[in-house]
Chain A
Amino acid sequence: QKEVEQNSGPLSVPEGAIASLNCTYSDRGSQSFFWYRQYSGKSPELIMSIYSNGDKEDGRFTAQLNKASQYVSLLIRDSQPSDSATYLCAVKRAGGTSYGKLTFGQGTILTVHP
């Protein structure tokens, strides 16, 4: 089992729709969860972080965390063609020898078509 696993892509949605990206993780010691967006040829850009169970909203983006189910998701409302990118789920432990290290999922390619 992969440490961090994202829903298989690619994901294609029409402009204006909701894009739903999912991620599960195996390490119950994980404390911090992130969604990064990566455009082709660019470095990852942080778009959301979440640390507590529940929802966190920022503009068109909503992150959801359920630690009991070891599940984190990202919803993008009113999707725009500019949202087309690879979305990376990343998980971080709080302490121990893995302190500060990020473990990434394999990424989900999102395409928003006009």
Chain B
Amino acid sequence: SAVISQKPSRDICQRGTSLTIQCQVDSQVTMMFWYRQQPGQSLTLIATANQGSEATYESGFVIDKFPISRPNLTFSTLTVSNMSPEDSSIYLCSVDRGGQTEAFFGQGTRLTVV
């Protein structure tokens, strides 16, 4: 397994502002992902954070709204930009070593936009 530290754990933000969420892993991992969990819903993949290159976004998610950085194999950030109340969700960082291995999740960031 991997120890994943995600912060902040929660935040309340004003609409129109941006929040950057950090994800730190205790060892190098091949793949890092960012998921969103809207209230009462399951997890939806936002993007794959690629080390040294631009993130790969899923349908319905765009870089201008959710810019992602991954400067090395142990760290990534997700920014939620120009927030609206609809962005109120839990955002989760996930790591996977590839192949037939399990994915593990950070503690999540509970975001409320007012």
| A32 CB contacts on chain B under 8 angstroms | 100-101
Docked Cα-Cα span, A86 to B48, in Å, equals: 25
Cα A100 to Cα B33 with chains together (Å): 9
The yes or no answer to B31 lying at the interface (CB within 8 A) is: yes
CB of B98 closer than 8 Å to a CB of A: yes
Given contacts A32-B100, A101-B45, A102-B43, contact A43 B33 (CB under 8 A): no
B78 at the interface (CB under 8 A from A): no
Place the interface of chain B in its size category: 20 to 34
Q: CB-defined interface of A36-52 with B at 8 Å, one 1/0 digit per residue?
A: 00000111111001010
Interface residues of B in 55-93 (CB under 8 A from A): 90, 92
Contacts of B114 in A (CB 8 A): none
- Determine if A51 and B100 form an interchain contact, defined as CB atoms under 8 angstroms apart: yes
Expressed in whole angstroms, the minimum distance between the Cβ of B80 and any Cβ of chain A is: 17
List the interface of chain B (C-beta within 8 A of A).
30-31, 33, 35, 41-45, 48, 90, 92, 94, 96, 98-108, 110
